[in-house]
């Protein structure tokens, strides 16, 4: 939000979140200088299949094109940590993206609790958010519209 307010161009690539209208997508579509593309199944997956792995490959290739395009100031690879941990995306090409990105590009990777240690080691900045208590487990409440999706 801050960057777009200063005219920075931002692109978010969502891994494992295909064609589902999360609330943030509606908001992002109304923000100047902010673009988004989704890859993956619209459903939560427990075990990735061929479709998921193919979508991961497409997302990674697309991310590389966007990062190297010299068009964007910030590129967000949303949930890539989860995609790596579930073997939807291999770690090595992600490490290469980080190492070879243009200097002007801020690269943000999310999917924290499952973020690969090699990424944490290579990153310039690491922020970890962790759940202390969640009504999923403490109260049996499922995902809420407008809060979790």
Note the pLDDT tens digit of each residue in 15-34. 998 877 788 888 999 999 99
With respect to residue 146, please indicate whether it lies within any of the assigned structural domains. no
Q: What is the distance between the alpha carbons of residues 45 and 147, in angstroms, rounded to a whole number? A: 20
Q: What is the tally of structural domains in the chain?
A: 1
With respect to residue 12, please indicate whether it lies within any of the assigned structural domains. yes
With respect to residue 145, please indicate whether it lies within any of the assigned structural domains. no
Q: What is the distance between the alpha carbons of residues 112 and 119, in angstroms, rounded to a whole number? A: 10
Q: Which residues contact 93 (CB under 8 A, 6 or more apart)?
A: 60, 64
CATH of the domain at 115: 3.40.50.300
With respect to residue 25, please indicate whether it lies within any of the assigned structural domains. yes
Of the candidate ranges 70-74, 119-123, 128-132, the one whose mean pLDDT is the lowest: 128-132
Q: Which residue has the tokens 């902010």?
A: 34
Of the candidate ranges 87-91, 96-100, 141-145, the one whose mean pLDDT is the lowest: 141-145
Q: What is the distance between the alpha carbons of residues 114 and 94, in angstroms, rounded to a whole number? A: 14
With respect to residue 144, please indicate whether it lies within any of the assigned structural domains. no
Of the candidates 29, 5, 8, the one whose C-alpha atom is nearest the C-alpha of residue 72 is 8
Quote the pTM value: 0.89
Domain holding 9, by residue range, is 2-138
Of the candidates 37, 11, 40, 44, the one whose C-alpha atom is nearest the C-alpha of residue 148 is 44
With respect to residue 148, please indicate whether it lies within any of the assigned structural domains. no
């Amino acid at each position: 939000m801050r960057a777009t307010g200063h005219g920075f161009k931002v692109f978010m690539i969502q891994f494992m979140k295909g064609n589902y209208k999360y609330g943030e997508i509606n908001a992002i579509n109304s923000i100047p200088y902010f673009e988004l593309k989704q890859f993956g199944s619209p459903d939560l997956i427990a075990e990735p299949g061929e479709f998921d792995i193919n979508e991961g490959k497409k997302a990674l290739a697309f991310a590389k094109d966007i990062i190297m395009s010299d068009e964007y100031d910030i590129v967000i690879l949303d949930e890539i940590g989860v995609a790596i941990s579930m073997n939807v995306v291999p770690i090595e090409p992600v490490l290469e993206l980080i190492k070879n990105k243009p200097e002007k590009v801020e690269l943000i990777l999310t999917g924290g609790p499952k973020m690969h240690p090699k990424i944490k080691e290579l990153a310039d900045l690491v922020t970890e958010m962790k759940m202390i208590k969640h009504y999923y487990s403490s109260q049996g409440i499922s995902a809420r519209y407008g809060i979790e999706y």
